[in-house]
Structure 1
Amino acid sequence: MSSSEATLLPADIAQRMTMYGRYEFAPQQSPPDTASRVNDLIYQPLYPVAAANPDAFVAALADAVLPVGGWAVYGGQRCVRDLITVRIRHPGYVAMVVAALRFLRQQNYGLMNIAPAELEVWREIFPSSPCDGEW
């Protein structure tokens, strides 16, 4: 990540994405104040960056969360969808979706836990992968 990309995001972006990922996946299991904190932790500081330069935002976010994996990468790909669009196919976004779905699969979550936009990316990358029955 270049130094200009590094300054786009808060220093604690991986922790923010971990919290966001857990919240997005299971809001009912999140601490009670999480919903009210999402705006301050995610939307207010990140939306202006994502709107001003979507490509740099996605690249910087992918660089920050892919090495961490788990809920951070799940939150990262959800954040991109929420702040930019579900139709994005930036390489960093695609890498986050693939890593997030591999994480969910390793955790034994079923297809009912996969959003249609996530499954669409998976099928584009792995067209011969069995995604309709056995996950």
Structure 2
Amino acid sequence: MALFSRREAGARLPADVVTRMDLFGQYEFDSTRLAPGIDVWSQLQSPLLEFAQADPAGFVEALVAAVRPGGGWALYGASRTIGNLIAYDYEHPRYAEVRMAALEFLRANGVPPKFLTGGDWDFWLRSRTGDEPWLTGAPLPPADSTRIIPLGAGELRRLAQVTSEEDSNVVYVRCEPDGTHVAVVEGRKSDEDESRVHWDWLRADSAYALYAHIGDAFQTPTYWVAPELAPFIPLPRPKIQHSVF
């Protein structure tokens, strides 16, 4: 049996639209989650275009009604589909409903805001209750209780490995002669060149301040984190993993 069925006669949405939205939602969040052999446009988006353009309001109402019961990735796929095929600033109560439901799905699974699109983040800020935070992270550890082993001038110390891949980026801390601390990244030179190179990433007056900057940038733990950096990462590992981390 084919993964995607032909649209039934007289139907405005494909019978398997929820499956398509589930797959599209995962793809939009992280393209590496999509199974090989699926063409995103021709299989997940193009079959919906005619309906979306001919009757935007009817399309939104039908699509939201289809994905609402199961929730999950299909919500996110539907939200992104409406934006892709109609407009991300399209005003319709059902679009706002599914967009917020999709974001709450990601939020409930601990996904940090750095993995949201700029438009979705702005939408959530406008729609949230008061000044409710997306996620509540741990505060910075007190400076007088952190155990950071001092580095000598020019010394490099490994702090984090971003992914489990052999060619993953690795983050080090380096102490400059003037006491400045620098986060140094080691990674591939390019997609075409596998040779490893180093580049300076972040800089601060102290190791404590630098670790705070790194923790804020990471938001959640990477594949491996040095024990002295771990207290500076405010959020736990999300239930939904992104290939970037």
TM superposition score category, shorter chain reference: 0.7 to 0.9
**Compared CA separation, residues 133 and 105, structure 1 to 2 (3 A):** closer
Equivalent of 1:74 in 76, 80, 97: 76
- Point out where structure 1 has 5 or more consecutive residues left out of the alignment: 1-5
Q: Whose helix fraction is larger, Structure 1's or Structure 2's?
A: 1
The equivalences for 1:46-125 within 5 A come to: 46-125=48-127
Q: TM-score, normalised by structure 2?
A: 0.49
Q: TM-score, normalised by structure 1?
A: 0.85
Q: Whose strand fraction is larger, Structure 1's or Structure 2's?
A: 2
The Cα offsets for residues 107-128 of structure 1, whole Å up to 9 and x where unpaired, read as 1100011112112222222251
Q: CA deviation at 1:89?
A: 2.2
Hey, what does 1:33 align to over in structure 2? 37
Hey, what does 1:3 align to over in structure 2? none
Greater relative CO, 1 or 2 (CA 8 Å, sep 6+): 1
Of all paired residues, the percent bearing the same amino acid is 34
**Compared CA separation, residues 60 and 129, structure 1 to 2 (3 A):** farther
2:124 partner SS: helix
- For the residues of structure 1 that align with 2:131 and 2:16, how far apart are their CA atoms? 35
- For the residues of structure 1 that align with 2:55 and 2:82, how far apart are their CA atoms? 12
- Point out where structure 2 has 5 or more consecutive residues left out of the alignment: 1-9, 138-245
The Cα offsets for residues 28-79 of structure 1, whole Å up to 9 and x where unpaired, read as 2322323xx2222223211111011110001100101111111000000000
Number of positions where the alignment pairs a residue of Structure 1 with one of Structure 2: 128
- For the residues of structure 2 that align with 1:46 and 1:94, how far apart are their CA atoms? 19
Higher Cα Rg: structure 1 or 2? 2
- For the residues of structure 1 that align with 2:50 and 2:100, how far apart are their CA atoms? 26
Q: CA deviation at 1:132?
A: 7.1
- For the residues of structure 2 that align with 1:72 and 1:129, how far apart are their CA atoms? 28
